[in-house]
């Protein structure tokens, strides 16, 4: 299925080896049957651990995590429907979307009319297999393309779901890149979806690649990368780390980052956190990007932003979940995501990290009238602005707003200039003795 971007904007971004690297990792993750618990999550973490040194956590079945209880662990080995003529109508080996995620085991012979109550289809998208779950309402079921169901004749069908629900554990992985301070930037991706490329192989692959890239970077903040099952996983992490959540100054939930949709950001519950402003600044320079206010529906940002925590955590994606026709269907496959869009999402994230890392509040040391820039060689230095990144306007804006009350991000918001340009100007002015850090 061709994905049509609503904005219909121009040529896609170009891709280098980085986009291919992220895509290749997503490609490895795609075939795995994941859920909120089970060996699929562990297998996924094994692959991600080849890119970043993950700490694996196991939370036993029955553990109370706030108002929730960690459920039994689920694993599925096989499933099939055999028709009256002995032909295979459905085989789990063909697609792990074929079984309702968390189905209880079942084996029996059923007439078609009784079997139909356990088969989910999409009549409006007759060639696609839907993705369905039954985490907390035990049942069994299958998902099929509507076109295939329409061809099933009356008769008796042999049905089997070889699955297991047992006392086990919920598994999540995390990696902490230590910075100069204990203040943290939380980056979180859900690991519970099976073969859905955009939602969320793209987020897992991009987050692991970002974590790998951070190893070579000295940072002011510490960066916590969390790979956890949706809802119950983030709640379990919050329950286990409640005493440390006050250290989180910025946060992002990542999902649906590999398709052709224009970048989209949902603000944190606070609405005016630094991460909200940084994302707005970066996306404000992206044609067709979308900024949305917080709502308590979505991914794990609603757990981090629950009123008992109210953390500064927003959500970054491309096409907004639930709004594109491929969402939660077999059309969310490896053809739906592209290396160039994965790389573009990576670039946006690093631009935001650059703002968080590089923001500071300068003070003009020559505030009475404009200082004479020419005699300090600053205008001449601008001749090499291709390398410096500064312009005469950025110098003037920084000098004027450097009253000890405006950070560089605040200057960017007011001036309309890019943070990168203002940061380059501030460095130049500081190097020439005209700026100091406000106390």
Known binding residues are 193, 199, 328
CA angle 311, 316, 318 (to 5 degrees): 165
CA-based nearest residue to 314, from 295, 327, 328, 286: 295
Q: How far apart are CA 170 and CA 299, in angstroms?
A: 18
CA angle 65, 67, 73 (to 5 degrees): 55
Q: How far apart are CA 247 and CA 158, in angstroms?
A: 55
The answer for residues whose C-beta is within 8 angstroms of residue 222's C-beta and 6 or more apart is 176, 177, 178, 179, 181, 182, 183, 184, 185
Tokens of residue 2, six digits: 């061709």
Q: How far apart are CA 90 and CA 98, in angstroms?
A: 8
Task: State how far the alpha carbon of 388 is from the alpha carbons of 31, 379, 405, 437, in Å.
Answer: 46, 12, 25, 20
Q: How far apart are CA 269 and CA 283, in angstroms?
A: 19
The answer for residues whose C-beta is within 8 angstroms of residue 130's C-beta and 6 or more apart is 97, 120, 121, 122, 143, 328, 329, 330
Contact 394, 329 (CB under 8 A): no
Q: How far apart are CA 286 and CA 325, in angstroms?
A: 24
Annotated binding site for Zn(2+): 193, 199, 328
**CB atoms < 10 A from the CB of 167, how many?**
10
H or E element, residue 232: helix 232-240
Contact 187, 223 (CB under 8 A): yes
Q: How far apart are CA 195 and CA 400, in angstroms?
A: 53
CA angle 303, 305, 309 (to 5 degrees): 95
Tokens of residue 272, six digits: 């005016």
H or E element, residue 233: helix 232-240
Query: Which residue has tokens 């078609």?
Result: 112
């Amino acid at each position: 299925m061709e994905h049509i971007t609503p904005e219909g904007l121009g040529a896609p971004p170009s891709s280098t080896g980085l986009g291919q690297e992220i895509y290749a990792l997503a490609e490895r993750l795609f075939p795995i049957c994941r859920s909120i618990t089970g060996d699929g999550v562990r297998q996924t973490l094994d692959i991600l651990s080849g890119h970043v040194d993950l700490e694996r956590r196991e939370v036993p079945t029955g553990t109370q995590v706030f108002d929730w209880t960690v459920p039994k662990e689920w694993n599925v080995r096989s499933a099939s429907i055999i028709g009256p003529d002995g032909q295979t109508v459905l085989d789990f080996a063909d697609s792990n979307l074929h079984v309702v995620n968390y189905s209880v085991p079942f084996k029996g012979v059923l007439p078609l009319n009784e079997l139909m109550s356990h088969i989910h289809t999409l009549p409006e998208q007759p060639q696609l297999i839907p993705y369905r779950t039954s985490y907390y309402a035990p049942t069994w079921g299958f998902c099929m393309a509507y076109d295939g169901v329409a061809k099933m004749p009356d008769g008796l069908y042999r049905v089997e779901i070889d699955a297991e629900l047992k006392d086990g554990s919920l598994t999540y992985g995390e990696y902490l890149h230590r910075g100069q301070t204990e203040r943290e930037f939380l980056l979180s991706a859900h690991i519970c979806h099976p073969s859905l490329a955009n939602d969320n192989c793209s987020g897992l692959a991009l987050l692991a690649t970002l974590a790998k890239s951070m190893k070579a970077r000295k940072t002011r903040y510490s960066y916590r990368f969390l790979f956890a099952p949706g809802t119950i996983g983030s709640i379990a992490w919050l329950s286990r780390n409640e005493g440390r959540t006050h250290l989180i100054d910025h946060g992002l939930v990542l999902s649906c980052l590999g398709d052709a949709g224009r970048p989209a950001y949902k603000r944190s519950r606070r609405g005016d956190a630094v991460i909200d402003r940084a994302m707005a600044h970066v996306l404000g320079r992206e044609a067709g990007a979308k900024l949305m206010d917080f709502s308590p529906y979505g991914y794990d940002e609603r757990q981090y932003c629950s009123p008992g925590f109210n953390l500064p955590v927003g959500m970054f994606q491309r096409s907004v979940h639930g709004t594109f026709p491929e969402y939660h269907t077999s059309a969310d496959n490896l053809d739906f995501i592209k290396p160039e869009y994965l790389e573009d999402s990576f670039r946006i994230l690093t631009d935001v990290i650059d703002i968080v890392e590089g923001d500071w509040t300068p003070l003009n040391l020559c505030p009475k009238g404009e200082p004479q820039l020419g005699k300090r060689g600053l205008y001449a230095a601008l001749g090499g602005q291709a390398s410096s990144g500064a312009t005469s306007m950025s110098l003037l804006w920084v000098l004027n707003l450097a009253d000890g009350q405006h950070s560089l991000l605040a200057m960017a918001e007011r001036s309309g200039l890019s943070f990168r340009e203002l940061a380059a100007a501030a460095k130049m002015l500081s190097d020439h003795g005209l700026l100091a850090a406000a106390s």
